[in-house]
A and B are shown apart, each in its own frame.
Chain A
Amino acid sequence: MQEDFHYYATYAAAVLAGYSHEESMEICYSAQFVDLCTRTFLTRVKGPKNAATTQLQLELMDADTHIVGLQDITRIWASFHFLPKDLYAQKKHVTKRYLRKYRLICGPNGELVRDTVNLAKGTSLQAVGIAMHVLADTWAHANFAGTPSLVINNTDSHFYEVYPDGSEKQINFRHTTAPDDVEKGLYTSSLFQGNENSIMNLGHGRAGHFPDYSFARYKYLPAWGGYEEVFKDNPSDYYKAFRQMIYAMKYIRGEEPEFKLDYYDGTKADEHKEEIMGIITKRQIDACLDWKAFGESLSGKEIPDFSTESYIQEYLDAAEDQKSGTFLGRFFTGALSQKSMVTNRIYSSGNKLAGYSIEYKKEGAK
């Protein structure tokens, strides 16, 4: 997902879940910040490098793809952007090596989503924001894995956009720096690389930004699918993601007794369903303005534009023993907890693709 959903839509969901404007701002800022907290940023603010929640393209270009490098990449992307749906998934007639990657395929309503939401309960608003980012991405990034893998993440020429009237158009991805043109149906994706562990095969790179567009309905043959066609209905999924975020935040606030999977808020979102679906189904690359207007109409307050600079000075000015109490400090703590939890679950399932892990909550940063 993109800034329109992670920042503005998360704000709207937080308001509908009962948070105040100020609390909703902390949550939505943290949700969006997950897409920007890189090692480069952490170096700049002298923060803990292990708290990185994403990697810049340049960082990925420089990343090693030997086993340790791959574990480092997988730890970040599987923890924050491609949360595995089923770490114990079974598939017949495949090698163990393939099965480890297959089990990292992202999808909504997996046990790890419940663990993510439970981890955020009783902690900071920053942790809630991180959880909302992870939850939302399980919907948009479903069917792709947060590890570089050709045999899981590759796509081919059988990739069709399905329009609301039922017609289809084949998408021929191009490999340029030109922006996507939704009017002409021109989209960019990463280059095909025959190397199994190439960075080009990370996540949904082979489908470009297309899975992140809320209006997109598409069918394609995922490399792991055994030639079976997968149909992805983003409008429906994004609406479910929005409702699930409201439900999750209600649970975190204590208004719901538990967080159940496959369960969505039924009232708050439905009151505004027409407006929300209008935003989601509109063919546009960036829905920030629409979501912003919606969020402001709910709270009656202005949502400032996102800026990575907002909390840097606070962090830099704080004394060493006070840094963890700053906005960024709380975000870093939440990120470390989330990363530790997910990589620990992956490791405990017998899968070393995310490397070895410790329980951060018990043992702290090492």
Chain B
Amino acid sequence: MKIPEVRLRKYKKNLVTSGWGVIVFCVWDIVKYISTFFIKSSYSEYLEEFLPEDDKALYAFAMFFTLIILGLILFLHAFVGKCAIQVGQGKRHRINYIPVAIILVLMTLFSFVMGIVEINSMPLDLSIASLILDSTMLVALTDLLISSFKIRTLEKQIAVKGGA
């Protein structure tokens, strides 16, 4: 068993790598949501199934709301990734990004499961690519969570050892 300081370095490096992974893969999430709508139909046709005809104001609001959602997805990933990187570099100690990371895990898991369930609704290569990327994102997020908790534990252990 390696000494705590060595393990702490390892998990901090892991956290920085996972943080960057989450930020980079959020681009995939954006692409996935947009492509889902465009593969099934054009987004505007999709909206027209649910919105009253000729209600341009509602249509515009729906488009705006969609953009807000995409922006929120981007923000959540960037927030989690950036906080994780800062914790890994020792520039931040609060891990209040954990609840957001858990939400992202659940969202990605849902997407992964739906990807399997609806594997035939998209071209096969796109479905497989989507599953691979979702699973990679899950790995990054899981590693991020585990590393965050390990860092907390090890820092406390080192603090106690230092105090003793």
Contact = CB atoms under 8 A, between A and B. Distances in A.
Interface secondary structure of A, over-half rule = loop
Contacts of A229: 6
Interface residues of B, number: 6
A119 interface: no
Interface of B: 2, 6-7, 9-10, 13
* 6 tightest Cβ-Cβ pairs between the two chains A and B: A227-B9, A227-B10, A227-B6, A228-B6, A221-B9, A226-B6
A228 B7 CA distance: 9
A226 B2 CA distance: 9
A169 interface: no
Most buried by B among A221, A226, A227, A228: A227
Interface of A: 158, 221, 226-229
A228 B9 CA distance: 8
A324 B117 CA distance: 78
14 contacts: A158-B9, A221-B9, A226-B2, A226-B6, A226-B10, A227-B2, A227-B6, A227-B7, A227-B9, A227-B10, A227-B13, A228-B2, A228-B6, A229-B6
A158 B90 CA distance: 12
A254 to B, nearest CB: 47
B87 to A, nearest CB: 15
A80 B7 CA distance: 36
A226 B5 CA distance: 12
A154 to B, nearest CB: 12
Nearest to A158: B9
Nearest to A157: B89
Nearest to B5: A229
Given A226-B10, A229-B6, 10 more contacts: A158-B9, A226-B2, A226-B6, A227-B2, A227-B7, A227-B9, A227-B10, A227-B13, A228-B2, A228-B6
Contacts of A226: 2, 6, 10
Contacts of B9: 158, 221, 227
Nearest to A225: B6
Nearest to B7: A227
Most buried by A among B2, B9, B10: B9
A230 to B, nearest CB: 12
Contacts of B6: 226-229
Contacts of B7: 227
B139 to A, nearest CB: 19
A221 B7 CA distance: 13
A128 B14 CA distance: 48
A227 B8 CA distance: 9
Contacts of A228: 2, 6
A357 to B, nearest CB: 38
B89 to A, nearest CB: 8
A221 B9 CA distance: 10
A229 B2 CA distance: 12
A34 B107 CA distance: 61
A221 B6 CA distance: 10
Contacts of B13: 227
A97 B87 CA distance: 34
B150 to A, nearest CB: 13
A226 B10 CA distance: 8
A302 B7 CA distance: 55
Contacts of A221: 9
A229 B9 CA distance: 10
Nearest to B3: A228
Contacts of A158: 9
A189 B63 CA distance: 50
A227 B10 CA distance: 6
A158 to B, nearest CB: 7
Nearest to A156: B13
A88 B9 CA distance: 28
Contacts of B10: 226-227
B7 to A, nearest CB: 8
Nearest to B10: A227
Contacts of B2: 226-228
A296 B33 CA distance: 77
Contacts of A227: 2, 6-7, 9-10, 13
A219 to B, nearest CB: 12
A36 B7 CA distance: 43
A227 B7 CA distance: 8
A211 B7 CA distance: 26
